Amino acid sequence: MEIHAYEKLWLALALVLIVGFIGTITYGAAGVGIEMIDDKGGTVDPATLDEHPKFGDPGVEKTGENQYDVYVVARQFVFEPGTTEPIRVPEGSTVTFHVTASDVIHGFEVVGTNANTMAIPGQVAEFTVEFDEPGEYGLLCNEYCGSGHHVMEGKLVVMEQSEFDSWYEQQQQEGEN
10: DSSP letter: H
Any bridge partners for residue 156, and if so which? Answer: 87, 137
Domain boundaries, the chain: 1-34, 49-176
pTM of this structure = 0.79
| Tens digit of each residue's pLDDT (9 = 90 or more) over 23-80 | 998 887 777 666 666 677 889 999 999 999 999 999 999 999 999 999 999 999 999 9
Which positions ≥6 away from 171 have C-beta within 8 Å?
A: 59, 60
Q: What is the CATH number of domain 49-176?
A: 2.60.40.420
CB of 88 closer than 8 Å to CB of 167: yes
d(CA 15, CA 93): 47
d(CA 45, CA 25): 37
